[in-house]
Structure 1
Amino acid sequence: MPTFLGDDDTVPCVVVVNADKQYSIWPSAREIPSGWSEAGFKGSRADCLKHIAEIWPEPTA
């Protein structure tokens, strides 16, 4: 398992969220880091990023 995803769309991922409602993706085979929890969506890297864009349209706001 790579330490980061890069552009690898073959690694199954999960969307995670922290207490500040910031979203990210994480390889589903790895333990979710402290402070983060599953946000209820799993899929490819691309699918997870698309989902985040739909639910979090202005991440810098």
Structure 2
Amino acid sequence: MDETVFRVVRNHEEQYSIWPADRELPAGWTPDGTEGTRQECLDHIDRVWTDMRPLSLRRAMEAAR
């Protein structure tokens, strides 16, 4: 059984991913505060990432209105 603890991370475009909690985060990614099993982290992302468009695109579309 895989006992790896993951954390949910987010970049400046508000895009989400998961990363092993015991590894240094890649540049440009910050933790969102959620840690757990792979599935728990993926379930969290499913709940919170409701708009898949990057932040820059959302802002551009809003400005064009």
Scaled by the length of structure 1, the TM-score of the pair is 0.79
CA RMSD of aligned residues (A): 1.9
Greater Rg by CA: 2
Alignment match, 2:22 = 29
**Structure 2 stretches lacking a partner, 5+ long:** 55-65
Identical counterparts, % of pairs: 43
The CA distance in 1 between the partners of 2:39 and 2:21, in whole Å, is 14
**Structure 1 stretches lacking a partner, 5+ long:** 1-7
Q: Is residue 39 of structure 1 aligned with residue 10 of structure 2? A: no
Scaled by the length of structure 2, the TM-score of the pair is 0.74
Structure 1 segments of 4+ aligned residues over 3 angstroms from their partners: none
Equivalent pairs, count = 54
The CA distance in 2 between the partners of 1:16 and 1:37, in whole Å, is 5
Q: Is residue 12 of structure 1 aligned with residue 5 of structure 2? A: yes
Larger helix proportion, structure 1 or 2? 2
Cα distance, 1:57 vs structure 2: 2.4
